[in-house]
Structure 1
Amino acid sequence: MAMLKKRKHERTEQDCEYFQCYSDVSVHEEMIADTVRTNAYKLALLRNHSSLQGKTVLDVGAGTGILSVFSVQAGAQAVYAVEASSMSQLACQVVKSNDMENKVKVLNSSVESAEIPEQVDAIVSEWMGYALMYESMLPSVIYARDKWLKPGGLILPSCADLFIAPVNDLIVESRLDFWSEVKGMYGVDMSCMQSFARSCIMNKEMAVNLVSPEDVLSFPVRFASLDLNVCTQEEVRNLHGSFQFSCFGSSLLHGFAVWFSVTFPGENSVTLSTSPYGEETHWKQTLLYLDEEVQVEQDTEITGDVTLSPSDINPRHLRVLLNYSIGGGLRRTKQFQMGS
Structure 2
Amino acid sequence: MPQPSHLVLSASRGAVFQLDEDGHFIALPTPTGQPIFGVTSHHITVFAAFSQPSTISGARARLAAEPTAAPVDPLIDDLLNWGLLTVEGTARGHQGGFGHIEAHLPMLADTRRVHAYADAIRAHAPGRTVAELGCGTGILSLLAAEAGAEWVWAVEESDIANVADEVLHAHRRRGTVRVERANSFDVAPSGPVDLLIHELFGVDPLEENILRIIEDARERWLKPGGRLLPMGFAIRACAVGGPRWRHGSESRQRVRRLADELKIDLDPVLRASEKTPIRRIDPPTIQPTNEECLSEPITLLEVDFRSAAMAPGRADHTAVIRHEGDVGAILVWFEIQLDETRSLAASPFSEPTHWQWQVWDLPETISVAPTRPVTVRVELRTTEGCPQIEVVDVRAG
SS for the counterpart of 1:102 is coil
Please name the residue that 1:47 is paired with: 123
Please name the residue that 2:308 is paired with: 231
SS for the counterpart of 2:307 is coil
Structure 2: gaps of 5 or more residues? 9-54, 56-87, 261-265
State the Cα deviation string for residues 253-284 of structure 1 (Å, max 9, x = none).
11211111112225xx2210111111101223
TM-score normalised by structure 2 residue count: 0.67
Please name the residue that 1:325 is paired with: 395
Please name the residue that 1:34 is paired with: 110
Mapped partners of 1:292, 1:62: distance in 2: 43
Q: How does 1:128-143 map to 2 (within 5 A)?
A: 128-143=201-216
Mapped partners of 2:320, 2:208: distance in 1: 33
Please name the residue that 1:57 is paired with: 130
Contact 1:245 1:303 in 2 (8 A): yes
State the Cα deviation string for residues 4-55 of structure 1 (Å, max 9, x = none).
xx7568879525893241112221011111111111101111122xxx2222
Contact 1:203 1:289 in 2 (8 A): no
Please name the residue that 1:289 is paired with: 361
State the Cα deviation string for residues 41-76 of structure 1 (Å, max 9, x = none).
01111122xxx2222111001111111001111211
Mapped partners of 1:8, 1:178: distance in 2: 34
Mapped partners of 1:59, 1:53: distance in 2: 15
Contact 1:176 1:194 in 2 (8 A): no
Greater displacement, 128-137 / 98-107: 128-137
State the Cα deviation string for residues 295-315 of structure 1 (Å, max 9, x = none).
333422212421244556x95
Q: Which amino acid aligns with 2:307?
A: V
State the Cα deviation string for residues 91-134 of structure 1 (Å, max 9, x = none).
11111111100011111111101142211110000022213212
TM-score normalised by structure 1 residue count: 0.77
2:147 to 52, 55, 74: 74
Q: Which amino acid aligns with 2:257?
A: C
1:94 to 140, 161, 167: 167
Contact 1:202 1:292 in 2 (8 A): no
Q: Which amino acid aligns with 1:323?
A: D
Structure 1: gaps of 5 or more residues? 1-5, 181-188, 328-340
Mapped partners of 1:17, 1:224: distance in 2: 21
Paired positions, count: 303
Q: How does 1:146-185 map to 2 (within 5 A)?
A: 146-168=219-241, 170-173=243-246
| Structure of higher RCO (CA pairs closer than 8 Å, 6+ residues apart) | 1
Contact 2:234 2:302 in 1 (8 A): yes
Please name the residue that 1:265 is paired with: 339
SS for the counterpart of 1:247 is coil
SS for the counterpart of 2:106 is helix
Mapped partners of 2:220, 2:391: distance in 1: 32
Q: How does 1:238-257 map to 2 (within 5 A)?
A: 238=312, 241-257=315-331
Please name the residue that 1:83 is paired with: 156
Shift of the 242–16 alpha-carbon distance from structure 1 to 2, 3 Å rule, reads closer
SS for the counterpart of 2:143 is helix
Q: Which amino acid aligns with 1:224?
A: L
Please name the residue that 1:336 is paired with: none
Shift of the 201–280 alpha-carbon distance from structure 1 to 2, 3 Å rule, reads farther
- 1:192 maps to 2:257: yes
Shift of the 76–212 alpha-carbon distance from structure 1 to 2, 3 Å rule, reads same
Mapped partners of 1:239, 1:94: distance in 2: 44
Q: Which amino acid aligns with 1:26?
A: E
Shift of the 97–138 alpha-carbon distance from structure 1 to 2, 3 Å rule, reads farther
Please name the residue that 2:58 is paired with: none
Shift of the 86–290 alpha-carbon distance from structure 1 to 2, 3 Å rule, reads same
Q: Which amino acid aligns with 2:100?
A: D
Mapped partners of 1:275, 1:63: distance in 2: 24
SS for the counterpart of 2:141 is helix
- 1:110 maps to 2:183: yes
Measured on the aligned residues, the alpha-carbon RMSD in Å equals 3.4
Contact 1:207 1:286 in 2 (8 A): yes
Shift of the 304–79 alpha-carbon distance from structure 1 to 2, 3 Å rule, reads same
Q: Which amino acid aligns with 2:321?
A: C
SS for the counterpart of 1:72 is helix
Greater displacement, 168-177 / 257-266: 168-177
Contact 1:45 1:71 in 2 (8 A): yes
